[in-house]
Every structure is written in C-alpha cells, then in structure tokens.
A and B are shown apart, each in its own frame.
Chain A
Amino acid sequence: MNTAVTAVAGNPSPTLARHKLMESLLRILTRCAAITVLIMLSGVIISLIDGSLPALKAFGFSFFHTESWNPVTEKFGAAAPIYGTLVTSLIAMLIGFPISIGIAVFITELCPPKLKQPISTAIELLAGIPSIIYGIWGLFVLAPLLQKYVQPLLIKAFDGVPGLSTLFAGPPYGIGVLTAGLILSIMVLPFITSITRDVFETVPPMLKESAYGLGCTTWEVVRHVVLPFTKTGVIGGVMLGLGRALGETMAVTFVIGNAHRISHSLLAPGTTISASIANEFTEADGTLYTSSLIALGLILFIITFIVLGAARLMLLRMKQSEGR
C-alpha cells in the first residue's frame, strides 16, 4: 500500500514519513516496555544473589539447615524461618482449600442467581483488604480469642494423644504458628475461590445435566464430574494461593511472635522468612546480618517463583484443554 501511494505522489509525502516514524517509534517503545518486565525479574534475582553472597560464602550449605540465628556471634541459619514459612503455609492450605472449594461449589451450584454476584464480590473484597489490616485484626481480635478459648481447648482435647499432644502443647500464647496459619487461610480464600469458581464454570452444562439425569446428587456431580473435569485448574488455583501464603509478610509479622527456633508445638511462637526480614532488616547492623536476611529473601523468591510458575503452567494447560 505504501509503495502505491508513493508511486502516485512521486516522492514520499511528509505525512507518510511522519506515519512511518510514529509507527516504528511506538513499536520500539512498546517492545522496550515489554522487555522491562523481564529486566525487572532478572534485576531482582541478580541483586538478591549479589546481596546474599557474603552470607552464603561465610556459612556455605549449612546456612540452609542451621537453626541458630545469633546477631551477637554473627552465626546465622535459615532453618527456622524456612520451617515457619512452610508450616504456616501448610496450615493455611489445609484450612483454606476445603473452604474455598465449598464457597466455589456454593456459588456455582447452590446459590440463587441473584446472590451470585454479591457473594462473589464480597469474597473478592477479602483480597482487597490490605495485609496489614489482617495483621492488626489478628493481633488484637483473633489472637486473644484463640488464647482464651480455642487453644486451651485444643491442649486439653489432645492431651495424651500420641503425636497430636506434641503438636498442641501449651502454654497458649495466642500468637504463634497456628494463629499465623489461620490468618493466612482467610487471606488465601479469595484467590483460590475465584480461580476454582472460574474453572467450575467452564464445565459444559451438558456433562453436569447428564449426570443429574442419571440421578446423581449435587455432591456426586461435583465429586465425579466437576472436580475431575477441572482438576488441573483447581490445583493451579491452590498453588497460586500457596504462593501468596508463602510470601505474605505483614499479617504474619504481627502474629507469629518472631522467635527464631523450630518448635514442635503449633501454639508456640515462630518466624517466617518474610516476617524475619520485615522485623529485622532496618535494625540489622553488619554486612553478615544484612546479607543473611537478603539470602532469606532469595530463598523465598526462588520458592515462590517455582510455586507460582507451576500454578501458571497448570492454569495455562487448563485453558488450552478448554479450547479443544
């Protein structure tokens, strides 16, 4: 087309030249912006590796399995924060996953159509509440409640039961690993729910109606038709929630108790990677201390990157199979 216009005009018109310039300008500009996203990621990784080198050099591999965290003797190990991060996230998933599935089933199968939108919005608003609000609520409302009523009950109920009695060993502090896990389970609800709801809605009505036609109950339809059909998507949603729980900072910082030790009891204070960084980074003096905290950040970033990456791949696969 361009050549045709040029041929008629005899020489390239100024308008055409301007169009050409703007065209290549926007193309290059947008391309650079897209590449910025990649630069961001590599920048984060490189700077974290660079910052954590002193600690990794000083402690070597033992950094990952040493429990001690002593700023005075400058002996640091990541075992306690890693343990805390994994355990709180595990608790969050154990509680949050079934509830999210329940809500998604309620919204897609049980709820009257009029209530569908308001309930979905309300659950999504949970994701909008800033993490620090969960923290302050957890510290001043949830923790005292747990300390007074729930934790004594748990200690009493599991007293003498092998295994469980060490998990729920006293005293009831209120704050601790279990409380952090509970708060996290509320925080991951909206993320898992919105994805499960979305993938539940991709199930062809024909499949569900055939099952209902055979006489299946709603539960049986969910269990044997909806869940198998959406398996990949649901797992993707759970992984996404897990990624959120692993990296969550402020809410956990308020209620975890910031104790650098691995305790068998879920009621005892602990710490997570993100809580340690949030609590100690500005106060950390000395290269080794700062570097150890950055190394914690690196570990966290790698863990969440793998989990979130896997989640996205699963959701992608779900989307592709939907197109078939």
Chain B
Amino acid sequence: MNNAHMNMALYARRRRFNRVAMLLSFSSAAAGMVALAWILATLFLKGAAGVSLSVFTHMTPPPGSAGGLLNAMYGSLVQTLIATLIGTPVGILAGTYMAEYGRNTKLTSVVRFINDVLLSAPSIVVGLFVYEIMVQPMGHFSAWAGCVALSILVLPVVVRTTEDMLLLVPDSLREAASALGAPRWLVIQQVCYRAARAGLITGTLLAIARVSGETAPLLFTSLNNQFWSTNMNAPMANLPVVIFQFALSPYPDWQRLAWTGALLITLTVLALNVFARTIARPRSSGH
C-alpha cells in the first residue's frame, strides 16, 4: 500500500518535471522566433521610414544634409559580383575534384577539413590577410582588394555545396554514361553538373547572400568612398561599411540612412536565402 503510494508520488513528480522541461523547450523555440521577429520588426519600423526615391538616386551625403545610398549600392553590387565571379569557378572546380577525381583520396579529406574550418573562420582575419598581400604592397585601399577579400569568403561555401551536391548524384548515372563510352570529363560536364545544377545554383546564391552582408573584411580593403566612383583601383563605397559608419555617427540624417541601408541589405540577404532554399528543396526531397 505504502509502496504504491510512493510510486504514485514518484510518477507525479516525474510528470511535473517533464512538463517543466517541455515548457522550457517550448519557450526556447518561442524565444528564437521572438528574436527574429523583433529584429525584423525594428528594421521595418526604422528603415521603411527612410525609404524614398532619393535613396536610390543620390550619393551618400556629408553630415547634416539629405542624400541617398546610390554609390554604396553600386559598390556593394559590383564588389559582390566580381567576388562571386572569382570565387565560384574555383570553388566548383575544387568541389568537382573532391567528389569526382579525388574521391576518398588523402588530399580530399585534408581539403574538406580545412575548407570546413575556413567556412566559419573569422572574416576580419581575411580582411587582415588581404590588407597584407594587396593593400600594403599597392600602397592604397582599393575595390579590387575588397573583391579579393570577399571572394575568399565565397570559396569555402561553394566548395562545400558543390561537393555535397555532386555526391548526391547517383553513381549509376555516371556508370551509365561511362558505359556509353563517354570519357570522364564529358560525364562530369554533361551528367553530373546537369543533375546537380539546382544544388550548384543554391550554393552560389548562399555564397552571395553570405558575402553581401559582410562588413569586417571590407573595412580595411575597399574602405569607403563618399563619392561616386567606378575606379576599381580606388577605395569604393559599399553598403555594410556605410551602415557601420553612419549608424555610429551623431547625425540623425546619417542614422536614418543607416537604418534604410540595413533594411535593404537584410531584405536582399533573406530573399537570397529563401530563394536558394526553394530551388534546393525539390531536389533534396527527391533523394
């Protein structure tokens, strides 16, 4: 009798404990969602107020006057584009080696390990590296240096997704093509790349999303430029650094522009993220 009573008490305690634990688990999920919603809501509230045509048509202003973000947007666009054009081909080729020619080799496992580490390595260190190899020898900050810094960040993302996506392509496809007499390079080009195309595009988009918000590696490579400049050999404006500079300034005009820039950049990055996911989804569920 006493024993049964004790068991009931134990059971009740276990259930209570479980309920508390599950409540905490639920609250964590809620906290995560709240954080996301809060940040996005702040961005919309503070950023949308400053969105106007002049943001897209005017240059960054001197303190205390109105202006826009045109030169910064142009700079971000150009530098991200060039960085992607440099980083993506190298990344796809490296991923191809790891999944096709060099599968299971020592080199591949070393490269995979190093690449995974570079994937999360602090981006400011990349900025220092490019400063050492480009800015200092050239004697001045330049948009090229910014492009190179960003391309170093593009590389590991593309390598990773390329290898993963190519490994998802069934070997029977490769074997079928080889059986028809196709040499390896044709198999890779005509079969593997085609089968993994959606994944490769996803990887590239994710890489663009990753670098278009990067600030730290640009701080001392492409620096900033208050004026319109298309000279790749000179400092070039870019949205993240402008946001950084304007947000920390005491001028309300600048701060407003910073919020608007922050909204624009976040929308771009999140849209790229969501878009990349929707492309990738039908493939990944197909396997």
Contact = CB atoms under 8 A, between A and B. Distances in A.
B107 interface: yes
A118 to B, nearest CB: 10
Contact of B240 (A23, A124, A130, A222): A130
Contact of B270 (A43, A125, A131, A189): A125
Interface in A113-143: 119, 121-126, 128-137, 139-141
Contact of A26 (B22, B185, B244): B185
Contacts, number: 265
A103 B32 contact: yes
Contacts of B133: 43, 47
B49 to A, nearest CB: 14
A301 B118 CA distance: 10
B32 A99 contact: yes
B135 to A, nearest CB: 10
Contacts of B14: 217, 220
Contacts of A232: none
Given A130-B266, A132-B243, A277-B124, A218 B111 contact: no
Contacts of B248: 139, 254
B36 A106 contact: no
B94 A102 contact: no
Interface of A is mostly: helix
A54 interface: no
Interface string A1-43: 1000000000000000001001101110111111111101101
B215 A48 contact: no
Q: B interface, how many residues as a size bin?
A: 35 or more
Contact of A137 (B17, B42, B123, B212): B42
B229 to A, nearest CB: 18
Given A122-B32, A274-B216, A219 B126 contact: no
A33 B133 CA distance: 20
Contact of A106 (B29, B110, B114, B274): B29
A36 B94 CA distance: 8
B125 A301 contact: yes
A282 interface: yes
Residue from the set A22, A105, A128, A254 with the largest chain B CB neighbour count within 10 Å: A128
A220 B22 CA distance: 11
B60 interface: no
Nearest to B119: A308
Interface of B is mostly: helix
Contacts of B266: 129-130, 133
Q: A interface, how many residues as a size bin?
A: 35 or more
B122 A248 contact: yes
A113 B63 CA distance: 52
A109 to B, nearest CB: 8
A293 B125 CA distance: 11
Given A40-B155, A186-B35, A249-B215, A294 B128 contact: yes
Given A38-B110, A129-B39, A243-B120, A136 B243 contact: yes
Given A128-B270, A136-B247, A219-B22, 18 more contacts: A26-B188, A30-B100, A33-B94, A34-B107, A35-B107, A36-B155, A47-B132, A107-B29, A124-B273, A130-B215, A130-B265, A132-B213, A137-B39, A189-B35, A282-B219, A301-B125, A304-B122, A308-B120
- Across the A-B interface, the 8 shortest Cβ-Cβ residue pairs: A130-B213, A247-B122, A102-B28, A33-B93, A30-B97, A217-B18, A33-B94, A219-B21
26 contacts: A22-B185, A34-B97, A44-B125, A47-B133, A51-B132, A102-B24, A106-B25, A123-B32, A125-B270, A129-B270, A131-B213, A131-B215, A133-B43, A134-B39, A136-B258, A136-B262, A139-B248, A219-B21, A249-B124, A274-B122, A274-B124, A274-B216, A297-B124, A300-B122, A309-B113, A312-B117
